[in-house]
Amino acid sequence: MTATLGAGRAWTDPTCPVARAVDLVGDRWSLLIVRDAMDGAATFTEFQQRLGIARNILADRLRKLVEHGILTTSTAPGGKRHSYELTSAGADLFTAIVALRQWGERHAFAANESRSALLDLDGRPVAELRPESPKGERLTAATTKVRKVD
C-alpha cells in the first residue's frame, strides 16, 4: 500500500487500520457499490439502475474502487462495456458488509418496519457476527485495547 491514497491525498490516520479502511471504502456510495457487486451487479448500467446514483459520481467511485484494488475490470466481447468484479480484497469486505447490515437491523429500523434479510443458500438467517477471543469469549470495546505498533 502506498503512503498516499493517490492524487496527492494523504491517509487520515496513517497508523490506524480503521481509518485506512474508511479512507478506501468509507463513503456511502462505495460501500453500496461493493454490496451490489456482492449481489451480482457487474456493469455500470446495473450499478446505476440499482443505486439511482448520478453517473459522474458512479464513474468516480468505480474508478477509485478499481484503483484501490477492491474491484477489477474486464472488457466485454465487442469492447464497448466494462464489467466490474470484486477482487479478493473486495470479497473480503463481506464480513464488514454483514456487520453493517446487522447493526442496521438492530438500530436503523422500527420493530414493524419491513426490510430485506440476508439468508444462507438453504434459506436460513445468517448468525449474528460477534468478535471472540481465541478462547471463544465474547469481546467488546470494554474488553479490548488498541496497541500501537512501530
The amino acid occupying position 72 is: T
Q: Which of 84, 97, 92, 82 has the alpha carbon at shortest distance from 42?
A: 84
Characterise 66 by phi-psi region: left (phi > 0), alpha (psi -120 to 50), beta (else).
alpha
> In sequence order, what DSSP letters do the residues of 83-94 get, joined into one string?
EEEE-HHHHTTH
**What value does the mean pLDDT of the chain take?**
92
Q: Which of 51, 44, 46, 7 is nearest to 29 (CA)?
A: 51
User: What is the value of pTM for the model shown?
Assistant: 0.87
Q: Which of 12-21, 51-60, 67-76 has the highest mean pLDDT?
A: 51-60
User: In the chain, what are the domains?
Assistant: 14-143 (1.10.10.10)
What pLDDT digit, counting tens, does each position of 105-122 carry?
999 999 899 999 999 999
